[in-house]
């Protein structure tokens, strides 16, 4: 297949692109590089510098494309609170333009990068795909809900074959966000630089941390599916944040002080998925243990 990856120069997109190429798919990376990095784009891929708002360029890039993996989005939660209009325009309006361009180009398959944040604070655990979608705690989360709605409507109206993947907590090599707001890269960088680790809630929150290569493999595994499918993508179990910090200390062989940041509004105490639906549908499951994933991630940040 020939696949276009929006946001393919980003953290997860770079891993998805590599795995597609390793499986002999043709890949076009479409990215405006506002948050991505050209150096992360596999040299085997065709690269198009473009924004989702550039409909003519986007439609041209979609020629002879069999499927799209849509990962282009702004993702920094605090920034979304400060600039909600920017997030709406980039994420929601951009996705609407993409769907219009797909229609014009005759592309009928889409895999969408969504988030577990659409569930808000869950009523019960583990979270399943039948868990209630709630009003998001921030504009970023709300854009993911609205983007899902657009895709579902397109499926109903035009028969678009779509897979919505709701990520839990990805981590791993190539995570180069600026500013970095995700826990694990911040913990690792603080440790390697021998600086205090910033920690909310004393690290008692429980999260489902999934290694990025496992997450990327879910995108290639669902390419053959038709219709509309929604899957949670996680490991199926939760880990306390403080235990992740302790594992990092064990791997590097020393510890650093912890800077207690207290409580943070909008943090759910516990978030993890059952991960059964995707396993039953396509026999996909995460393979990398937290210890293995952290070792690889620490090695990346040591050598980057």
37-71 per-position pLDDT tens digit:
999 999 999 999 999 999 999 999 999 999 999 99
Provide the residue range defining the domain that includes 69: 2-170+209-234
The C-alpha angle with vertex 65 and arms to 166 and 104, in degrees rounded to 5, equals: 90
Please indicate, yes or no, if residue 125 is contained in any of the structural domains: yes
State the pLDDT at residue 269: 79
Task: Name the active-site residue from 30, 140, 167, 272.
Answer: 140
Residue 264 pLDDT exceeds 80: no
Q: How far apart are CA 5 and CA 14, in angstroms?
A: 9
State which H helix or E strand residue 242 sits in.
helix 241-252
Tell whether 128 is covered by a domain: yes
In this predicted model, which residue has the larger pLDDT, 264 or 137?
137
Strand partners, 70: 6, 112
Answer yes or no: is 286 within a domain: no
Q: Output the pLDDT for position 266.
A: 64
Residue 106 counted as domain residue? yes
Taking the C-alpha atoms of residue 50 and residue 5, their distance in angstroms, rounded to an integer, is 12
| Residue 73 confidence class, pLDDT cut points 50, 70, 90 | very high
By C-alpha distance, which of 121, 116, 94, 234 is closest to 171? 234
Q: How far apart are CA 93 and CA 96, in angstroms?
A: 5
Mean pLDDT for the stretch of residues 90-114 = 97
- Residue 304: its pLDDT value, please? 76
Residue 257 within any structural domain of the chain: no
Domain harbouring 74, CATH code: 3.40.50.720
- 241 within some domain: no
Total domain count, the chain: 1
Q: Do you find a cis peptide bond into 179, omega within 30 degrees of 0?
A: yes
The answer to the question of residue 88 being in a domain is: yes
Q: Is residue 118 part of a domain?
A: yes
210-244 pLDDT, tens digit per residue, is 999 999 999 999 999 999 999 999 999 999 999 99
In angstroms and rounded to an integer, the radius of gyration of the C-alpha atoms of the chain is 19
Specify whether 119 is catalytic.
no
List the structure tokens of 161.
């074959």
Average pLDDT over residues 268-283: 91
């Amino acid at each position: 297949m020939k696949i276009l990856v929006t946001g393919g120069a980003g953290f997860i997109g770079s891993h998805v692109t590599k795995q597609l190429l390793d499986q002999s798919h043709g890949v076009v990376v479409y990215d405006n590089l506002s948050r991505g990095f050209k150096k992360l784009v596999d040299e085997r891929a065709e690269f198009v510098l473009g924004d989702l708002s550039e409909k003519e360029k986007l439609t041209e890039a979609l020629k002879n494309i069999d499927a799209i993996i849509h990962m282009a989005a702004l993702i920094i939660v605090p920034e979304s609170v400060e600039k909600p209009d920017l997030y709406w325009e980039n994420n929601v309006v951009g996705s609407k333009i993409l769907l219009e361009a797909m229609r014009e180009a005759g592309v009928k398959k889409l895999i969408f990068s969504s988030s577990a944040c659409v569930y808000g604070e869950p009523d019960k655990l583990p979270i399943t795909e039948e868990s209630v979608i709630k009003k998001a705690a921030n504009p970023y989360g709300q854009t993911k809900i609205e983007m899902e709605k657009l895709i579902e409507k397109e499926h109903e109206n035009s028969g678009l074959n779509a897979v919505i993947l709701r990520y839990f907590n990805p981590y791993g090599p190539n995570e180069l966000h600026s500013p970095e707001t995700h826990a694990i890269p911040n913990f690792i960088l603080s440790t390697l630089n021998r600086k205090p680790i910033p920690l909310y809630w004393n690290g008692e929150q429980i999260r489902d941390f999934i290694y990025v290569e496992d997450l990327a493999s879910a995108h290639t595994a669902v390419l053959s599916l038709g219709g509309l499918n929604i899957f949670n993508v996680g490991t199926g179990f939760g880990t306390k944040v403080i235990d992740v910090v302790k594992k990092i200390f064990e791997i590097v062989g020393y510890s650093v002080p912890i800077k207690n940041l207290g409580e943070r509004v909008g943090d759910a105490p516990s978030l993890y998925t059952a991960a059964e639906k995707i396993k039953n549908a396509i026999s996909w499951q995460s393979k990398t243990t937290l210890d293995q994933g952290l070792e690889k991630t620490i090695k990346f940040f040591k050598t980057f």
